[in-house]
Amino acid sequence: MIAPFGLRHIQLLRQLQGACAQLDPNGALEEPASALRLALRGYFLGPRTGVQTYILRSSDHAQSQCGFAQTRAQAPQIPLVKTSLPAWRVVAMAPLLDASEDAATIWYRLLLHLCIAAGERGVTRLFACLPERSAAEDVFRQATFVTYSHQQTYWRENSEGLGHPSSAARQAVAEDALNVLRLWHKVTPRTVQQAEEPGNSRAATGSSEVATTNAERHYVLYSTTQQLQGLLSVSTGPRGVRLRLIVDSDARGAAARVLDHGLAAIEDHSRPVFCTVREYQGGLRALLEDRGFAPGETCSLLVKHTTVRVREPLRKLVPALEQGVEVTPSVSHSEPAEG
């Protein structure tokens, strides 16, 4: 049986988390939080934590199949651009695939359950970031996840001596969001757009300044004709700094200028720096290596589109039916009552 995490699962999750696969691409920046701690946050604080944890236990016998899957709300894929399509990212699964012969089956059952649970909550997509050509990627594909791109992580022990401010670059404001979206569509392959498209996307509204903290800042670079040439996002966590670049490949030198501007703006240059480069961003590799970054692990990016509940108006077959009556199609439920 698969059920959402409840207090009766504390001991089981404590045992399982010691040998679970961590699949969170942000783990290089954050201090690792145990699966049990995240599950308890989700249980007590509810949906606003963005954490969902599901437990599989086939029986109460010692030889029963046991495992768990944990997801977190997927952050917007395009900086400054809001999304109308909620998504989950799979961040942890247990047991490890090499732990037993049943491990792959447990993962498969949990992934199918996640798809049903996500659809019931109006979540349209499930994402995962997995080591390329790994056993984990094979299991996700069997559960009908699709690989839509690959990315490689480049890293450097610190950013000392790197970067210099550019007069053409500045910190982003809300009015830049529409130009960021246009640039993203220009440089992003269609298969990636289909996976990560934000839906009814719109520019950030409200304040004329984008809300930024020491944890995340965005820098934009415009041409003399006010065409957006590049954007750099700088995210700071307890364990390092992560960079993400979106650059117009037609704008010569834009990547170097916006990258160096962002590197100069890092407050603590003693921290490790990471930058992910996707397979269609080949020109960035030489740029990073020239600044002392070393290539690291290559990962596959996967997505699974779910089906969601749809409310449809009931056709007026006889005059006695009142206008506006609705029915909801029956959907298989993923979660038994907490007991």
Q: What region, left, alpha or beta, does residue 260 occupy, with left being phi > 0 and alpha being psi -120 to 50 degrees?
A: alpha
Q: Are residues 187 and 79 in the same domain?
A: no
pLDDT tens-digit readout, 188-230: 999 999 999 887 544 443 333 443 445 889 999 999 999 999 9
Looking at residue 314, its pLDDT comes to 47
Pair (7, 147) in one structural domain: yes
Residue 91 pLDDT > 80: yes
Q: Is residue 339 domain-resident? A: no
Both 21 and 143 in one domain: the answer is yes
pLDDT digits (tens, 9 = 90+) for 243-267: 999 999 899 999 999 999 999 999 9
Residue 241 and residue 30: Cα distance in Å, rounded?
10
CA dihedral 93, 98, 102, 106 (to 10 degrees): 10
The domain in which residue 43 lies consists of 2-152+303-327
The verdict on 171 and 220 lying in the same domain is yes
- 282 occurs within a structural domain: yes
What gap in Å lies between CA 172 and CA 178, rounded to an integer?
Answer: 12
The answer to whether the beta carbons of residues 162 and 260 sit under 8 Å apart is yes
Q: What is the pLDDT of residue 61?
A: 58
Same domain, 45 and 106: yes
- Say yes or no: 202 and 307 in one domain: no
Tokens of 234: 């700088």
pLDDT in tens, 122-134: 999 999 999 999 9
316: its two tokens: 């007026």
Percentage of the chain with pLDDT > 90? Answer: 72
CATH number of the domain residue 237 falls in: 3.40.630.30
Q: Do the domain assignments include residue 334? A: no
In-domain check, residue 332: no
20 lies in the same domain as 31: yes
Q: How many domains does the chain have?
A: 2
- Where does the chain have alpha helices with state H? 10-16, 35-45, 103-120, 135-142, 177-187, 190-196, 254-265, 283-290
Residues 15 and 147 in one domain: yes
Residues 89 and 128 both lie in one domain: yes
Q: Residue 319 domain-assigned? A: yes
Residues 127 and 160 in one domain: no
Alpha carbon 338 to chain centroid, angstroms: 29
Are 19 and 127 members of one domain?
yes
Residue 194 lies in a domain: yes
* Domain-embedded: residue 336: no
Residue 335 forms part of a structural domain? no
Same domain, 10 and 141: yes
